[in-house]
A and B are shown apart, each in its own frame.
Chain A
Amino acid sequence: MDIQLKRGLLDVCVLASIKNEDSYGYKIIKDLNPYVKLSESTLYTILKRLETSNMLTVHTVEYGGRLRKYYHITKNGIKRIEDFKEEWQEVLSIYQFVIKEEER
């Protein structure tokens, strides 16, 4: 897949995983695992990028005697997900058309 395309998609993936509830690094990787393999290194850069563009915020929570970073989605992040859904509706219908033509 085109690198730029994949980057954009993974960004939205991570945002979606923290949309309904705050999550932390390892849990995000685990939740996405059935769908897409994410390496720690990639996740780190994605989280940094999303934080800089104000799509998520970070806060620390004490857990079992150590500190854990939790990520929380912002309004911008939610908007990004909505935009993604809109853009890809069209991609989906094009894909369905291509598949239909292939089967003929």
Chain B
Amino acid sequence: MNKQEFLAELKAGLAGLPQKDIEDQLNFYSEMIDDRMEEGFSEEKAVSTFGLIDEIVKNLIADTSLIKIAKERINSKTKFNIWEIILLVLGSPIWISILIAAVTVIFSLYISLWSVIVSFWSIFVSFIGASLGMIVGGIIILCKSDFFIGIAMIGVCFILAGLSIFTFYGCKLSTKGILLLTKKTAVCIKNALLKKETA
């Protein structure tokens, strides 16, 4: 692939991202190619060192914030015709409330996911608290009144401590899982916004 082809393909892949970012990237790679050619590399060789265009595009999308992409999407649709404007204005009470409802639903789904995580963590904390209570109570009872009941309580303390350790790993796993899910969703949304532009 020569320089022109590479830059054209890169430009196509980046469609939907802010104009300035696309320009900067193209200039950057153009400069890289020229520098390498100066060192004696052929145009083809220079381009091949960059790797796959898909990878480059993926990296830049991951690094561009969701907000920037959404803004660009809105900005590029600059040619609202008069009917769209009238409809938008007339319909605003409706679409605003629908929009708010949609956002609220998504937000509450997200909150419910996190509430599950929070309850896992509270279970973990209660196990720890209970096992502490058991050992303190157990020692007191052991010394003051019934030896065997005291021992039993200390035993329960160890069981609870063990359960809390298991719960801890469960909590860690599920928290990591939800964070990963959030990241992946952000990437999906970004891609969806960008695809709609080029499709």
Chain A residues engaging chain B, CB cutoff 8 angstroms = 24-27, 39-42, 44-45, 48-49, 64, 66-69
Dominant secondary structure of chain A at its interface with chain B? helix
> Given A39-B51, A41-B51, are A24 and B31 neighbors across the interface (CB < 8 Å)?
yes
Least CB separation from B58: chain A residue: A41
Query: With A39-B51, A44-B28 known to touch, is A66 a contact of B59 (CB < 8 Å)?
Result: no
Instruction: Check if B28 sits within 8 Å of A40, measured CB to CB.
Output: yes
A18 to chain B, nearest CB (A): 16
State whether A26 touches B36 (Cβ < 8 A).
yes
22 examples of A-B residue contacts, CB within 8 angstroms: A25-B28, A25-B31, A25-B32, A26-B32, A26-B36, A27-B35, A39-B51, A40-B28, A40-B56, A41-B50, A41-B59, A44-B28, A44-B60, A45-B59, A45-B60, A49-B63, A64-B38, A66-B34, A67-B31, A68-B31, A69-B28, A69-B31
Interface string of B90-130 (1 = CB under 8 A from A): 00000000000000000000000000000000000000000
The residue from B29, B34, B59 contacting A42, defined by CB atoms under 8 A apart: B59
Q: Does B27 contact A (CB under 8 A)?
A: yes
Is there an interface contact between A41 and B31, defined as CB atoms closer than 8 Å?
no
**Residue B5 interfacial (CB < 8 Å):** no
B5 to chain A minimum Cβ distance, whole angstroms, is: 17
Q: Which residues of B contact A42 (CB under 8 A)?
A: 59
Quick check: B56 and A26 within 8 Å, CB to CB? no
Min CB–CB distance B71 → chain A (angstroms) = 16
Chain A residues, Cβ within 8 Å of B60: 41, 44-45
